[in-house]
Amino acid sequence: MAPARPGGRVLLLLWAAARLCWGRTDTWYNDYGSDIRQTVGIASSTSQISMFRCVQHCAIFAKCYAVNYNRQTQECETLQLTRGRNPVPSPTPASGWKHLAAMSYLDDPCSYDPCEPASVCLTYSRRPGDPVRTRRRLYTCSSHWYLINKRAQGHTNCSFSQLINVDFGSYDVVGWDPKTMYYADMMNHCNGAYYTCLGLISKAVDSQQWFKTETHLTQTWKTPTFEKGTVFFVGDCN
């Protein structure tokens, strides 16, 4: 069974923080809707405060990427990324709460420096056929030697590109059996203790996924092959 995924319509650019004389300014927030709350990474909690003031609080702090706000209790929670945690889990149902994330984080979560110094942050977009409708970009971390070297050369814009209807044989991560899971949940394991990856073969949104230790960028003699419905995520830095 595929892992549960958040649903519901996303309301874009519903809320903006006021201009401040310090911290980030003109920060737009994406409203994920009512009755949801993010419980991971809560950095502060304030009572008897308006939602407008709540997002102002977030804009002050460089590492604050989102807020939870309860209209009934007027409680505000600011959230910060926890270094090394990748990626942040999706919000969960919670009566009375709203979850709003900064658009700067949604557009480029790597700008919030969520990965350990010895690893590289890579963003990636949702693959074709993904039923989830959200503005949020996703990210994961990897300490693969190829990415570390590219970053050392000054290439810091790192991401997974998608090759559609493409497969890449061999170079499966040793000790990791093909997993039947949602591909974005699979990406959580990219920088695990034994599973440093450079690529991912995704047979379907919530079907079998394979990590790859090498790609055609490091093994230039090997050419990817055609396979309908398969997506090949390839990590690189520019």
In this predicted model, what pLDDT tens digit does every residue of 193-227 receive, in sequence order? 666 899 999 988 778 888 999 999 999 999 999 99
* Average pLDDT rounded to a whole number, residues 31-42: 85
pLDDT at 45 over 80: yes
* Average pLDDT rounded to a whole number, residues 39-57: 90
- Of 54, 76, 108, the one marking the end of a domain is 108
Task: Identify the pLDDT of residue 1.
Answer: 37
User: How far, CA to CA in Å, does 42 sit from each of 63, 69, 106, 230?
Assistant: 12, 12, 18, 37
Mean of all residue pLDDT scores within the chain = 80
Task: Identify the pLDDT of residue 146.
Answer: 96
User: Are residues 104 and 209 located together in one domain of the fold?
Assistant: no
Q: What is the number of structural domains in the chain?
A: 2
- Of 82, 108, 134, the one marking the end of a domain is 108
Domain of residue 43, CATH code: 3.50.4.10
Distance CA 204, CA 181 (A): 9
- Asked if residue 6 belongs to a domain, the reply is no
Q: What percent of the chain has pLDDT over 70?
A: 81
User: Are residues 132 and 61 located together in one domain of the fold?
Assistant: no
In this predicted model, what pLDDT tens digit does every residue of 14-26 receive, in sequence order? 333 333 333 344 5
- Asked if residue 3 belongs to a domain, the reply is no
The pLDDT-based confidence of 88 (bands split at 50, 70, 90) is low
User: Are residues 128 and 188 located together in one domain of the fold?
Assistant: yes
Task: Identify the pLDDT of residue 236.
Answer: 97
In this predicted model, what pLDDT tens digit does every residue of 141-162 receive, in sequence order? 899 999 999 999 999 999 999 9
Distance CA 166, CA 212 (A): 14
Number of H-type helices and E-type strands within the chain: 4, 13
Q: Which domain holds residue 170?
A: 115-237
Task: Identify the pLDDT of residue 144.
Answer: 94
Closest CA to 159 of 138, 128, 135, 134: 138
**Of 99 and 59, more confident:** 99
pLDDT at 8 over 70: no
- Asked if residue 228 belongs to a domain, the reply is yes
- Of 108, 124, 147, the one marking the end of a domain is 108
Task: Identify the pLDDT of residue 128.
Answer: 82
Most confident of 68-77, 113-122, 182-191: 68-77
Q: 146: helix, coil or strand? A: helix
Task: Identify the pLDDT of residue 134.
Answer: 53
User: Are residues 101 and 148 located together in one domain of the fold?
Assistant: no
* Average pLDDT rounded to a whole number, residues 75-104: 81
- Asked if residue 162 belongs to a domain, the reply is yes
**pTM, rounded to two decimals:** 0.70
* Average pLDDT rounded to a whole number, residues 110-131: 84
Phi, psi (deg, nearest 5) at residue 67 = -135, 155
Distance CA 103, CA 181 (A): 28
User: Are residues 125 and 216 located together in one domain of the fold?
Assistant: yes
- Asked if residue 4 belongs to a domain, the reply is no
User: How far, CA to CA in Å, does 140 sit from each of 13, 22, 57, 83, 161?
Assistant: 25, 30, 27, 12, 13
Beta bridge partners of 160: 235
- Asked if residue 22 belongs to a domain, the reply is yes
In this predicted model, what pLDDT tens digit does every residue of 160-187 receive, in sequence order? 999 999 999 999 988 777 778 888 878 8
